[in-house]
Amino acid sequence: MQKRKLGKSNLEVSALGLGCMGMSFSYGAPKDKQEMVALLRAAVERGITFFDTAEVYGPFTNEELLGEALSPFRGKVVIATKFGFSLNPDGSPGWQGLNSRPERIKQVAEDSLKRLKIDAIDLFYQHRVDLDVPIEDVAGAVKDLIQAGKVKHFGLSEAAAKTIRRAYAVQPVTAVQSEYSLWTRGPEAEVLPTLEELGIGFVPYSPLGKGFLTGKMDASTTFASNDFRSTLPRFTPEALKANQALVDLLSRIAAEKKAAPAQIALAWLLAQKPWIVPIPGTTKLHRLEENIGATEIELSTEDLHEIQSAAAEIKVEGARYPEAIEKLTGR
């Protein structure tokens, strides 16, 4: 497995990370814990050193899963987790609202350290920008945690370029995590140039379009009520049908390369910048191995030009999220 550095921070991780949310949260019922422990350890054996979680995934159960699964590899893997929500008092899934007040950030850090069974959080992201708390105060709270040795690196998720700059002025930002893939190109306009200028790494989540870019869905695909894709405008039958052209493009390139569409989607991301580290999620070993295979695929300048030209002709239908959640992004 190749390694990459997240910006100029020298935080070195595997070129591909593993998004762990779906093991406990959002994509239907939580998966069997022991099966997921085995999958996480299989990922380490195959060279993955970068794992992504958050207190809200469950809540808490995803961090606990990683704490158990990765404890034998302490010091050899990088675990990223997140703060930024007020959770439901009864512990039920979901959240009450945003909360990035400094005292809340510091409490989340203490609790996450216990669940993850680690001495310091490798990368601590603000999950969503909280307009009620100045980003300078957020960065200052994380700076305090870094100085106390409880956090190593500061990250932001779904933040706008101007917010990234304001945070960076208080505490250098190591990585920004936002949705980015062939069907979500928003970060290209302002965020990626800002990250390049400041020397910040970029971690695309949902790099396979929440499963759509694998080519395993079509307009007839249905989602259970406990699968959050059932609420997403981009996963209506009409949108799935309209967006099929993107999958057809990936499938065509994949056939030429004797690869899977998902591998081309990931290889395209890896080819954009050397400081981009996608974090596809999966709960299946064969999909994990398929995703890892993307790091071996070389896309030529001609391949990339062909993908860019064809993708530019395709208009993606449907918003990423329902309006109430969409408005929490890009702030």
Instruction: Give the pLDDT confidence of 270-327 residue by residue, as tens digits.
Output: 999 999 999 999 999 999 999 999 999 999 999 999 999 999 999 999 999 999 999 9
Q: What is the pLDDT of residue 189?
A: 97
DSSP state string for 227-265:
BGGGG-GGGSHHHHHHTHHHHHHHHHHHHHHT--HHHHH
> Averaged over 85-97, what is the pLDDT?
89
Catalytic residues: 57
* Closest residue by Cα to residue 177 from 192, 193, 196, 162: 192
What does the block give as tokens for 227?
A: 């699968």
Q: What is the pLDDT of residue 90?
A: 86
Return d(Cα 161, Cα 173) in angstroms, integer. 12
Q: What is the pLDDT of residue 91?
A: 86
Is residue 92 scored above 90 in pLDDT?
Answer: no
Q: Give per-residue pLDDT as tens, 150-184.
A: 999 999 999 999 999 999 999 999 999 999 999 99
Length of the chain: 331
Task: Kindly report the backbone phi and psi dihedral angles of residue 192, in degrees, each rounded to the nearest multiple of 5, phi listed first.
Answer: -60, -45
Is residue 101 scored above 90 in pLDDT?
Answer: yes
Q: Give per-residue pLDDT as tens, 103-157.
A: 999 999 999 999 999 999 999 999 999 999 999 999 999 999 999 999 999 999 9
Is residue 93 scored above 90 in pLDDT?
Answer: no
Task: Kindly report the backbone phi and psi dihedral angles of residue 139, in degrees, each rounded to the nearest multiple of 5, phi listed first.
Answer: -60, -40
Residue 155 burial (CB count, 10 A): 27
Q: What is the pTM of this model?
A: 0.97
CATH architecture of 3-210+266-297: Alpha-Beta Barrel (3.20)
Q: Give per-residue pLDDT as tens, 192-225.
A: 999 999 999 999 999 999 999 999 999 999 999 9
* Closest residue by Cα to residue 278 from 268, 287, 286, 1: 268
Return d(Cα 77, Cα 74) in angstroms, integer. 6
